[in-house]
Amino acid sequence: MDGGARRSPGKSFAASVAVGDSHCSAGCTLGDIVGSPTVVFLLHWKLFGLFLFAKYIVNYVLAYIFGIAFQYFSIKPMKSLSVGEGIKQALKADTLSLTAFQVGLYGWMAVMQLVLFPVEHLHPNQAAYWFLV
């Protein structure tokens, strides 16, 4: 198999990668959608004077939980695994990809908020804040 990846019968390698990636990116996206407003508007939680760093923590934890859940409910029935083995396989499938996705996202958010649009010019009550960070 290509790169050690397991293909579903009848699917190309590219299709298998796209399907596998969609579970991870769905968890990341949902974690960010739920986490960012929670940190900014409900908790007003800042680290080092910025919402950005607090969002990193909350969004990562939520993205990880959602990503593992999506992977679990995909992998367990597909392979007829026990609950424990399903969780183990979901953790194995999602940990590295989710972390890589979030590191890239957080790097982009930091560049946007700290370099291109400094904190004093970009606030959570502005649309640009939500489109750029």
pLDDT tens-place string over residues 93-107:
888 888 888 899 889
Question: Which residues, in sequence order, are CB contacts of 29 under 8 Å at separation 6+?
Answer: 63
What is the per-residue pLDDT across 5-52, written as a single tens digit (0 to 9) for each? 455 567 787 877 777 677 667 777 888 888 888 877 788 888 888 888
Residues 6+ apart with CB under 8 A from 109: 52, 55, 56, 132, 133
pTM of the predicted model as reported, rounded to 2 decimal places: 0.73
Residue 58 CA: distances (Å) to CA of 55, 102, 114, 115, 116: 5, 12, 19, 23, 24
Q: Which one-letter amino acid corresponds to residue 86? A: G
Domain locations in the chain as residue ranges: 13-132
